[in-house]
Amino acid sequence: AWSSSNGSSDDGVIEVAILDTGIDPDHPDLKANLKWGVSVIRGRISTSPKDYKDKNGHGTHVAGTVAALNNNIGVVGVAPAVEIYAIRVLGASGSGTYGDIILGIEQALLGPDGVLDSDGDGAVAGDPDDDSAEVISMSLSGSADLSSLHSAIVTAYGYGVVIVAASGNDGSAQPGYPAAYSEVIAVGATDSSDQVPWWSNRGVELTAPGVGVQSTYPDDTYNTLSGTSMATPHVSGVVALVQAARYNIYGGVLQPASVRSILHSTADDKGTQGYDTIYGYGIVRADRAVGAATS
């Protein structure tokens, strides 16, 4: 897919907000693509790198899968030229509150300038005059359905933001929240044999590699992790490739429903033919998705 799109967009318009434990701002495989960071832990908003710096490892690992540089060191992300936002909503332990996740979604919409729809034209995602994220990637999952969380997601979706979340690792028949909401792409995990492990929650929209995934880790290192958290950024990265390719050709991005339709029709259909609860529409395919978005 990189021959058509590497995530780089004219005007630098495509950004992926990673809501997680933060990102290591000095990692040589991430630094050039990390455009902004903010911590919202305990409701306190801070853009100081010491506050959004990853003190767990999870967020840095997720970020590398989306956007590690193609620079002959370490690993390469799905969208190695896309800009990313580090939005720290989870603490050093890897857990957090729904309140902080809601704040994180709001920050992803506002972007570095802190203004929603700064030119007042009603367009936010894909608007070169706005620095809101085009993609929100959430490798996190909880059991509670909170109306205020759903409301924040509906708002972001309405502004054209594609929202991707981990289905969870509980071995249950349904995704956790926020993945269970209809506006969110719920992602399950596959292994190197394209099998879905028992722990990957069912009822997903798409699947992606989530077992033994190597990626960036704090203090200039790399680590191999497994989980639907590792599958999610593969899908977020593909969405970034699709939107960047689309923007570069047509000067605008696709609405979330159109992006999802492309991901469904171009996925590698596994399991029962068509949609099934184990694989969803199948394993995400970057090459086919970018081709469909630009044809």
Taken in order of first residue, the domains within the chain and their CATH numbers are 10-294 (3.40.50.200)
What is the DSSP annotation of 159-220? Answer: TT-EEEEE--SS--SS--BTTTSTTEEEEEEE-TTSPPPTTS-SS-SEEEE-SSEEEEETTT
Token pair for residue 162?
Answer: 């594609």
Report which of 71, 227, 66 is spatially closest to residue 162, judged by C-alpha positions.
Answer: 66
The count of other CB atoms within 10 Å of the CB of residue 242 is 33
The confidence score (pLDDT) of residue 123 equals 78
Portion of the chain with pLDDT greater than 90, in percent? 90
The count of other CB atoms within 10 Å of the CB of residue 209 is 18
Phi-psi region of 61 (alpha: psi -120 to 50; beta: other; left: phi over 0): alpha
Cis peptide preceding 178, ω within 30 of 0: yes
- Give the pLDDT band of residue 2 (cuts 50, 70, 90): low
229 is catalytic: yes
Q: Which of 9, 29, 58, 127 is catalytic?
A: 58
Render pLDDT for 22-71 as a digit per residue (tens, 0 to 9).
999 999 999 999 999 999 999 999 999 999 999 999 999 999 999 999 99
Q: Which of 20, 24, 54, 131 is catalytic?
A: 20
Q: Which of 141, 229, 234, 236 is catalytic?
A: 229
113 is catalytic: no
- 3-state secondary structure at position 42: helix
Distance in angstroms (rounded) separating the CA atoms of residues 184 and 168: 13
- Residues whose CB falls within 8 Å of the CB of residue 146, separated by 6 or more in sequence, listed in order: 98, 177
CA 275-149-247 angle, to 5 degrees, is 60
Distance in angstroms (rounded) separating the CA atoms of residues 178 and 186: 8
Portion of the chain with pLDDT greater than 70, in percent? 98
Model pTM greater than 0.85?
yes
191 is catalytic: no
Render pLDDT for 81-125 as a digit per residue (tens, 0 to 9).
999 999 999 999 999 999 999 999 999 999 999 988 878 887 788
Chain-wide mean pLDDT for the chain?
96
Token pair for residue 188?
Answer: 């399950």
